[in-house]
Amino acid sequence: MPASATVTVLGRAQLAAEGISTRWSTRVLRTLRSSGPLRPAEVVDATPIPAGSLHKVTGLLERAGAITRLPVPSRCRYELALTDAGRALGPVHAAALAWADRHLVGRTELEAPEAIDDAMSLFASPHTGAVLFELVASEPLTVPQLAERLPVGGTGILHHRLSVLAEHGLISRSGTPRTYRWAISEAGMHTGAMVRELSGWAERYLPSAAHPGPAARATSAVTAASGTDVMVVAAPSPVSSRTAVAKLRRDTLRIHFSHAPDPQPPALLHSAAAGPRR
């Protein structure tokens, strides 16, 4: 597939997460799925959602195309209802909950809908997927090394993102504060099913995911070693400097995580070229 027609799995996953992972989003979607169209006040009555938060949550879900408003005849009111896109979020939520049950920090303090929101929200923040990709494909890296490889606006932003990811257990660090090296954790390696489901949903239901800007286009440079847990990262072409390598990697970045319940498949990474599951 030509690079100009390829959308990164990372970009699609982030785009989906931005629209459907706000606090209480999953509560709204699950309630509408089980009860059918409801007036906003009925959603509040049926859930622990604060009345003052509902408008913001439903507004985001409407913009993401997951819910819609249905006018109520003879009344100046409306009901909230799931769209086809909203009904298709079942596999996304299932993948997010499976990951959360095994890896989400603080999972025991959350009910399932809020755990799903928190799991997906990790990918709503810029650079999460890109950081994980760089770390899964290499030895532990320092902040300067990561900054060279990623299109991040300054090491301060990168420091903050790394700290957040470490707090949630997706990455780990070793060494002293002056020489920290960052590595991907087991939890980070196992985000793949969630990423693929988010990406597949976005590709199908979000127009902006089907028509990305140039920054979201990519080609793949990663293959999975068949029958082993060892990842083979194929170098696209010889380069003469680390700067050239960083630029090439930014231009060709693509995520290839995958996850499944025990037993694990032979390879932890799968080609995104296989496309999202329908």
Pairing of the two strands 78-82 and 222-224: unpaired
Residue 253 has pLDDT above 60, yes or no: no
Give the global pTM. 0.74
- 3-14+120-274 against 22-88: fold identical: yes
Between 211 and 199, the higher pLDDT residue: 199
Distance between CA atoms of residues 54 and 239, nearest Å: 52
What H or E segment, with its residue span, contains residue 200? helix 192-205
DSSP structure class, residue 176: -
Please state which CATH number belongs to domain 3-14+120-274. Answer: 1.10.10.10
Predicted local distance difference test score (pLDDT) of residue 92: 98
- The mean pLDDT value for 199-213 works out to 78
How would residue 149 be classed by pLDDT, with cut points 50, 70 and 90?
confident
Q: Does the structural domain 22-88 have CATH classification 3.90.1150.10? A: no
Distance CA 223, CA 237 (A): 15
Reduce the DSSP state of residue 233 to 3 states and report it: strand
Question: What residue spans define the domains of the chain?
Answer: 3-14+120-274, 22-88
- Residue pLDDT, tens place only, 169-201: 999 999 988 889 999 999 999 999 999 999 999
Q: What is the pLDDT of residue 217?
A: 33
Report, as an integer, the average pLDDT of 97-108: 96
Query: 129 is written with which tokens?
Result: 């997927």
Of the candidates 218, 231, 9, 28, the one whose C-alpha atom is nearest the C-alpha of residue 114 is 28
- The confidence band for 248, taking pLDDT boundaries of 50, 70 and 90, is very low
Residue-averaged pLDDT of the chain: 77
Percent of the residues in the chain that have a pLDDT greater than 90, as a whole number: 56
Which has the closest alpha carbon to 114: 106, 126, 103, 124? Answer: 106
Q: How far apart are the first and last CA of the chain?
A: 19
**218 and 251 Cβ atoms separated by less than 8 Å:** yes
Over range 236-263, report the average pLDDT: 38
Q: How confident is the model at residue 76 (pLDDT cuts 50, 70, 90)?
A: low
What DSSP assignment string belongs to 53-81? Answer: HHHHHHHHHHHTTSEEEEEPTTSS-EEEE
Q: What is the distance between the alpha carbons of residues 235 and 222, in angstroms, rounded to a whole number?
A: 8
The answer on pLDDT for 61 being more than 80 is yes
Residue in 85, 90, 74 with CA at minimum distance from that of residue 34: 90
Under DSSP, is residue 183 helix (H, G, I), strand (E, B) or coil? strand
Predicted confidence band at 209 (pLDDT cuts at 50, 70, 90)? low
User: What six digits make up the tokens of 208?
Assistant: 């902006």
